[in-house]
Amino acid sequence: MSTASEVSFSRWAFVASLGVFLLIGALDAAYGPLLRTISLRFEVSLPTSGTVLSVYFAGALAGVLGALACLRSLSGRDVLIGGLATLALGCAGVAASREWLAFLGSVLLTGTGFGALDFTLNRLLAATESRHRVARLNTVNAAFGAGAVAGPFIVSTLKGGTLTYGFAAAAALACLLAAGQRGVRAPAPPRVADEPAPASDSTRSPKATLERGTLARFGLVYLCYVATEAGTAGWIVAHLSAVGYSVRLATAVTSGFWLAMTIGRLCAAPLSSVVALRHIVLAATALLALCLAVATVPVLAPAAYVVAGLAAAPIFPMGLAWAAESWPGDHRAASWALTASMLGGIVGPAIIAGAVSATNVTIVPAALSTFAALTFVTLLSVRGPRVAAARLPSSCTMDGAELG
């Protein structure tokens, strides 16, 4: 990766970056509240429309992997412009689609743009000069959270017109934001995959084998967690509507889930100075599983989902921070977590859609609490060499840092 002095953002480029995070945050949070609209527009069942979430995360995984490859030979600015072009094309396709397969292809493109942009921007911002680096990362991640809160409200306001007018506006905004990337300076393409070469069979030691097992379990933690997060945000509206709440209230609860997560990440950081990161993450996953179990009770479900957002807040960023301190200088933990998290976004909603198809929508919170419980149990089996000393590094913050 290039040094901090080699990457810089002009004032307008940074403003454009804020706009990018606001946009992808809104898009990321909009698909869940749109599931019923998608079902009606394309005349498919609700479980079938739920596969949109998995398609979106499949695109995000492709976007991250594509960015990893492109950053080896292209400048960060070129990758950002390419990501915005892909996002614009996907959003325009969503707005224009009238056939189910064409719509899914467009959703895949929006996910690809999302993954590439979220990963690349955070990598580049993390490589800027150190004096204001933390402030930059906190600010752009706050913009992501604001977008995630605004997305469901935009859906509630535009209703069925969101797929046409909302996504057309998003495509236009992506094109506009691409112009702002001209102020990004990254002379040398940063190396983003500094993973050591795998050992040959003849040189593998018992310690290395154990380490690979630990990394695999760490990746599974992130797969299960993101399956929980993506499934919760995507199915809140459908579940609450099925148990008697209005779509407007259910959409507001989705925004409340994202808002609680954003606030929780800001408030949890000081706690890391007095409590070991692993303990914070373990407590948060246990509370998340409990909240989602409580959501099976209809009268308590809206409040349970909002508190679940608060519980989920520290899991991803503080888990990465704990791994960074437990295995200093070894970037594989972050790489495994990143890849597994995108897989979780694919697998989680798909499994929930299958469960809904086999039973009914009321199964959603039970399925989500199961994913959260698996996160907790798997995390219990992961122990780093310096658990007690782990503290939150200033560079690991909020949603964007989850991809960095």
Q: Give the model confidence (pLDDT) of 224-246 as tens digits.
A: 999 999 899 888 988 999 999 99
Residue 203 lies in a domain: no
Sign, CA torsion 288/61/201/196 = negative
Q: Do residues 224 and 337 both lie within one domain?
A: yes
* Residues 4 and 148 grouped into a single domain: yes
Does 149 share its domain with 261?
Answer: no
pLDDT for res 141: 67
Residue 122 pLDDT? 72
* Residue 403 is assigned to a structural domain of this protein: no
- The answer to the question of residue 402 being in a domain is no
Q: What is the pLDDT, as a whole number, of residue 177?
A: 93
- Is residue 365 located within the same domain as residue 323? yes
Name the phi and psi angles at 9, rounded to 5: -120, 130
pLDDT in tens, 340-371: 887 888 888 889 988 998 999 999 999 999 99
Q: Assess whether 173 and 255 both reside in one domain.
A: no
* Residue 198 belongs to some domain of the structure: no
- Please, which pLDDT band fits residue 114 given cuts at 50, 70 and 90? very high
Question: Quick one: the chain helix, strand, coil %, rounded to 5?
Answer: 80, 0, 20
Residue 225 belongs to a domain: yes
Q: Looking at the structure, do residues 184 and 99 belong to the same domain, yes or no?
A: yes
pLDDT tens track for 153-186: 888 888 878 899 999 999 999 999 998 888 888 6
Answer whether residue 200 is part of any domain: no
- Determine the Cα–Cα distance for residues 102 and 251; give it in Å rounded to an integer: 26
What count of other Cβ atoms lies within 10 Å of the Cβ of residue 98?
A: 8
- Give the bridge partners for 393, in sequence order: none
pLDDT greater than 80 at residue 139? no
User: Where among 188, 221, 243 does a domain terminate?
Assistant: 188
If DSSP codes are grouped into helix, strand and coil, which group holds residue 8?
A: strand
Q: Are residues 254 and 298 in the same domain?
A: yes
Q: What's the angle, vertex CA 273, arms to CA 285 and CA 304, rounded to 5?
A: 30
Residue numbers of the domain that contains 299? 209-394
Domain count, the chain: 2
Percent of the chain with pLDDT over 90: 36
Arithmetic mean of pLDDT, 49-70: 88
| Residue 95 CB partners (closer than 8 Å, separation 6+) | 163, 164, 165, 166, 167, 168, 171
Query: Of 188, 218, 240, which marks where a domain is finished?
Result: 188
Q: What is the CATH number of the domain that holds 366?
A: 1.20.1250.20
Same domain, 148 and 223: no
